[in-house]
Structure formats: structure tokens, C-alpha cells
A = this chain, B = another copy of it.
Amino acid sequence: MVKLVECVPNFSEGRDEAIVEQIVEEIRRVEGVKLLDYSSDKDHNRSVVTMIGDPKKVKTAMLNAAKKATELIDMRKHEGAHPRMGAIDVVPFIPVSDMTMEECVELANEVGKEMGDMGIPIYLYENAATAPHRTNLAKVRKGQYEGFFEKIKEADWKPDYGPEKMNEKTGATAVGARVYLVAYNVNLGTNDIEIADAIAKKVRFVGGGLRFVKAMGIKLEERDIVQVSMNLVNFEKSRIYQVFEMIKMEAKRYGVSVVGSEVIGAIPLQALVDTAEYYLQIENFDISQIIEKQLLE
């Protein structure tokens, strides 16, 4: 089995293409790391980069990119609509294949420590958090760059790594480990938004539904139908087929049928394997039976 980790750093620069390119180039030039995507938002003045590969190599690529970003981004001049606390705002590690969450937490600690040594105050979050109040990224980032000059002095917000004093130029960084997020939507054969909302409420965690599902009803104006739009925040525990079947079941009481579903963006192979295994009642399937998977070994 080949170990694969995904890393999706967010950099606080989305307007100066030359700077973004220089940062991205640091990732591109590390062999064994695949740059899957990067995109900048001018209003947010922020860029999101997606890379994947062997954990050691992703670590190298991430640290090289961080070093470049500390040189090129100056938070004293940063303006943008998206909440941010630093030049390398947030660095999540996500297990994709043959990686445990514990290994991702360890990786977040290694990268956090080295970024701390670069002079950046580091906060570990989500599964890497060192205290419950640091789990949620929004709470960690609250107050933003401007507020951190005071926040960092509070006992509750002492950094996990790096200086205990704000870095004016780079700001602070949140480094974490989290599960892969699957964006999955189910379309209903009705244009009644109340039905989509009611089903979303039954399916999602907060409504008593599946633990790792966030859901809401939305209207697809062009198609004149409604949709249960979801984030599966742990697709290995709350699985796609469970979500799909539960929505079908709930839709029945309204005499509404499921007309389709869609996976938005990238999805780990395991999620599709789980689906095929369930519906075909496959016994003893091993993901390495998939030819394309063998090629990655």
C-alpha cells in the first residue's frame, strides 16, 4: 500500500500572481508531490493550494512553500474579505490512503515545529489540537491577524510551537489534521424547498441524523428542482451509500423520488469502493485489486 497524505495550505495572497506562482513553484519542484490544484480569490486576497503525495515529501514541499511565503507575504499590508491570522493562514493534513489520523497528527506536529522555528507562532487545530477549545479553526482564528497581538498573550492561547509573541510580518498559522471532506448532493423530484429542508434536517447530525453529515436544502432554479446539499466530514464513518439510502427513505413520506446525485470535486477511491461493496454485497474485496491502485504502489 502506498501512503498518501493531502495538504491544503491557504496563503494570504490572492492578488499578486507572481507571488502565488513563486510559492506554488516550491511545491511543484518537489518530486513525489503532486500539485492537484491551486486557485486565488481576489476579493478574499487568498490562495488555496491542494497537494498530495508521500508524507515525507509533502512535508518538505509544505515547508519550502512556507519559507517562500514568509519572504514574500507581508501581513502588515494584507486586506481581504476572508478571515485570516497569518501569511500561511492554515495548513491542514488529510489522510487519503494508508495513513491513520494519528500519523497525520504527527505530521502536523513536525511541520508545526519547523514552522515555529521559522519564527511563526503555531496553533494546532482539529484532530491535532492540544486542548478542546482549540479544535475549531474559526475559534482559533477569532480576532484575526490584528487581534492576535493581544490574543497571543492569553494563557489559553499560548502557541503550540514557535515564539510566544506575535510575528508582525507573517502573523500566526493554524496547522492541523482533519478527515477528508466529501461534497455530495442528492437531487429530488420536486421544487418544494420545504421538503429538501425537512429531509436535510433528518439526515444531518444536528437533527439526530448521521454523525458526520452536514446538510441543507437548496433550490436549483434552472432545473426547477430542490437538492439536499451535503458535506460528509468523515466519509469512512458516515458513508455515501448510507446518506443516499436515508434520503431516499425520508423522501418516500412525501411521495418524492430521488432523481440523481452528484459528487462535487475530488473524492478518495475508498468512498467509491465502499459504495460498490455495499450494493454488490462484495465479500473480501481488497482495494489493491483495482488495477489503477496497483500502479501507484
Contacts and interface: CB of A to CB of B under 8 A. Distances in A.
Interface of A: 4, 6, 34, 36, 52, 96-97, 187, 240-241, 244, 258-263, 265-269, 272-273, 275-276, 279-285, 289-296
A257 B293 CA distance: 32
A292 B279 contact: no
A28 to B, nearest CB: 14
Contacts of A284: 262
Q: Quickly give the copy total for this chain.
A: 2
Given A266-B289, A266-B291, A292-B268, A275 B280 contact: yes
A241 B279 contact: yes
**A interface, over-half SS:** mixed
Nearest to A294: B36
A266 B294 contact: yes
Contact of A97 (B6, B275, B292): B292
11 contacts: A34-B294, A34-B295, A97-B292, A260-B281, A261-B283, A262-B285, A263-B282, A266-B294, A267-B289, A275-B275, A292-B296
B295 A293 contact: no
Q: Tell which of A36, A97, A292 has the most Cβ of chain B within 10 Å.
A: A292
Contacts of A36: 291, 294
Given A96-B292, A265-B289, 19 more contacts: A36-B291, A52-B291, A52-B294, A52-B295, A97-B292, A241-B279, A260-B282, A261-B282, A261-B283, A263-B282, A263-B289, A267-B289, A268-B290, A268-B291, A272-B276, A275-B275, A275-B276, A275-B280, A292-B296
A289 B184 CA distance: 13
A280 B34 contact: no
A279 B275 contact: yes
A267 B272 CA distance: 14
A277 to B, nearest CB: 9
